Amino acid sequence: MPFLKYADAIYVGGEWEKTDRREAVINPADESLLIEAPVGSARQVEAAIGAARHAFDRSDWSHLPVAERQKILTRFLDALDARKGAIVDMIVAEAGATRMLAEFLQYGIPMKHARRTVELASRPAVTPLPVELTPNAQGRTTLGTGVVSREPVGVVAAISPYNFPFFLNVGKVVPALAVGCTVVLKPSPYTPMEALILGEIADEVGLPKGVLSIVTGDIETGKLLTTDPRVDLVHFTGSDKVGAMIQAQAAPTLKRIVMELGGKSALIVRSDADIQKAAAAGLMGFTTHCGQGCALTTRHLVHNSVRPQFVEALKGMLTHIRIGNPADPAVNYGPLIREVARKRTEDYVAIARDEGATLVSGGKRPEGLDKGFYFEPTLFDNVKNDSRLAQEEVFGPIGAVIGFDDDDEAIALANASDFGLSGAIYSADAGQAYRMALKIRTGGVSINGGAGTMQSDAPFGGIKRSGYGREYGEDGLNEFTYQKVIGFHAE
- We report the CATH number of the domain holding residue 284 as 3.40.309.10
Given a cut of 90, whether residue 41 has pLDDT beyond it is yes
Pair 256, 158: CB distance under 8 Å: no
Regarding whether 274 and 253 lie in a shared domain, the answer is no
1 within some domain: no
The DSSP bridge partners found for residue 10 are 17
409 within some domain: yes
Regarding whether 271 and 257 lie in a shared domain, the answer is no
Pair 234, 157: CB distance under 8 Å: yes
Regarding whether 353 and 443 lie in a shared domain, the answer is yes
Position 5 confidence tier, pLDDT thresholds 50, 70, 90: confident
Regarding whether 243 and 95 lie in a shared domain, the answer is yes
462 within some domain: no
Regarding whether 365 and 352 lie in a shared domain, the answer is yes
What's the pLDDT score for residue 441?
98
Position 119 confidence tier, pLDDT thresholds 50, 70, 90: very high
What's the pLDDT score for residue 353?
98
Given a cut of 70, whether residue 418 has pLDDT beyond it is yes
327 within some domain: yes
What's the pLDDT score for residue 6?
85
Regarding whether 25 and 59 lie in a shared domain, the answer is yes
Count of domains forming the chain: 2
Given a cut of 90, whether residue 283 has pLDDT beyond it is yes
284 within some domain: yes
Active site annotation includes 119: no
Domain with 34 in it: 9-261+468-488
CATH number at residue 79: 3.40.605.10
pLDDT in tens, 305-341: 999 999 999 999 999 999 999 999 999 999 999 999 9
Radius of gyration of the chain (CA): 24
What's the pLDDT score for residue 118?
98
Regarding whether 251 and 271 lie in a shared domain, the answer is no
206 within some domain: yes
Position 1 confidence tier, pLDDT thresholds 50, 70, 90: low
Regarding whether 349 and 325 lie in a shared domain, the answer is yes
Which residue among the candidates 103, 260, 393, 471 is catalytic per the annotation? Answer: 260
Instruction: Kindly report the average pLDDT of the chain as a whole number.
Output: 97
What's the pLDDT score for residue 3?
83
Q: What is the mean pLDDT of residues 193-208?
A: 97
Regarding whether 231 and 138 lie in a shared domain, the answer is yes
279 within some domain: yes
**CB neighbours (10 Å) of residue 5?**
13
Regarding whether 302 and 192 lie in a shared domain, the answer is no
Instruction: Give Cα separations from 204 to 8, 82, 87, 316 (angstroms).
Output: 18, 12, 16, 49
What's the pLDDT score for residue 7?
85
